[in-house]
Amino acid sequence: MIRFGLVLNFFFLGLLAAVSARNFAMAFNRYADRDIDKYNPRTANRPSVDGRIGASNLLFFIGFNALLFVVVAYFINELAFYLSVPILIILGGYSLFKRFSPYAHLVLGLSLGLAPIAGAVAVEASIPLWAVLLSIGVMYWVAGFDLLYSLQDMEYDKANGLFFYSFSFWMGSDIFYL
């Protein structure tokens, strides 16, 4: 019989882990992209770009959420704790990856694709094959919609030396006529 308190504990820890991981990833992306976003008409008015949120506040928020994620992972189980820092590296990697590789969409997909594995690690303290297969599906699903989302910035990205699969490999494809 499953105890309600145990379920509530897993739910609360899982929610904290998910929120702190997402906060870390989003804030790290905003911090790392300030130099890119300030010249992009679509992103120039973001609070992290126009000064409404200062760099030191962003860094504090990033550090706080990274620490919270690691501490929460410690309370989930040993495997979650050991994987917490590599997961943070992957989550932050997307922001840097787009500067040197056209496969940043896949890194973003991997970041979100880790969710099924993280759920299995939290509940089973292992990484079962079904979670890996589901993660691969999520990775390509997210990479696909991120690729479509990136089309709105394609001209800006090309002009500023950013690497995205959409214009690196698909020039002339019917996808541009959607």
53 vs 99, more confident? 53
Give the pLDDT band (50/70/90) at residue 176.
very low
The CATH label, of 1.10.357.140, 1.10.10.10, 3.30.460.10, 1.10.10.60, for the domain at 4-177 is 1.10.357.140
Record the tokens describing residue 78, joined without a space. Answer: 């040993």
Instruction: Render pLDDT for 38-79 as a digit per residue (tens, 0 to 9).
Output: 888 888 888 888 889 999 999 999 999 999 999 999 999 999
**Exposed e or buried b per residue across 59-89, where buried means at least 16 C-beta atoms within 10 angstroms of its C-beta:** eebbeebbebbbebbeebbebbbebbeebbe
Contact 12, 72 (CB under 8 A): no
Q: Which range among 4-8, 135-139, 168-172 shows the weakest confidence by mean pLDDT?
A: 168-172
CA–CA separation, 132 vs 120, rounded Å?
Answer: 10
Burial of 129 (0-12, 13-18, 19+ CB in 10 A): exposed
161 vs 126, more confident? 126
Domain range annotation of the chain: 4-177
The average pLDDT across 106-120 equals 93
Q: Residue type at 142? A: V
82 vs 37, more confident? 82
Give the pLDDT band (50/70/90) at residue 174.
very low
**Exposed e or buried b per residue across 91-127, where buried means at least 16 C-beta atoms within 10 angstroms of its C-beta:** bbbbbebbeeebbbbbbbbbbbbbbbbbbbbbeeeeb
170: pLDDT strictly greater than 70: no
